[in-house]
């Protein structure tokens, strides 16, 4: 990642990608499987990018669901997991909002 990587930017990128693929996602029998894949794809892979994201949001130093962590996790595992938790939350919120809009306006899927 060449530009400064922030949690806000990762969330924005994920929402943009979800919106770009909205029709495909909402037509799936299990849309949660697909949004999980999209969220996972926005987790930085380089340790330096993980630290950069952490510097933009220090709350990422804490993980809510310790069951997601590997045995004997390192600091990068904790940051990666915290980012995953946040992105999954954003993705499910997006999906819920889409389902509400879809139920209110059944003709407007995409």
Residues 51-66 have pLDDT tens digits of: 999 999 999 999 999 8
Backbone Cα Rg of the chain: 15
pTM: 0.88
Residues 40-50: tens digit of each pLDDT: 999 999 999 99
Token pair in block for residue 49: 């990018």
Q: Output the CA–CA distances (angstroms, integers) from residue 19 to 27, 32, 46, 85, in the order listed.
A: 13, 14, 26, 20
Q: What is the pLDDT of residue 109?
A: 54
């Amino acid at each position: 990642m060449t530009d400064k990587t922030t949690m806000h930017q990762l969330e924005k990128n994920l929402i943009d990608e979800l919106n770009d693929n909205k029709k495909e996602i909402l037509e799936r029998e299990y849309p949660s499987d697909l949004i999980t894949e999209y969220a996972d794809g926005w987790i930085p892979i380089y340790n330096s990018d993980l630290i950069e994201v952490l510097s933009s949001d220090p709350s990422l130093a804490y993980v809510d669901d310790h069951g997601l962590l590997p045995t004997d996790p390192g600091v990068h595992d904790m940051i990666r997991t915290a980012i995953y938790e946040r992105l999954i939350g954003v993705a499910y919120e997006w999906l819920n909002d889409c389902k509400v809009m879809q139920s209110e306006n059944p003709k407007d899927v995409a």
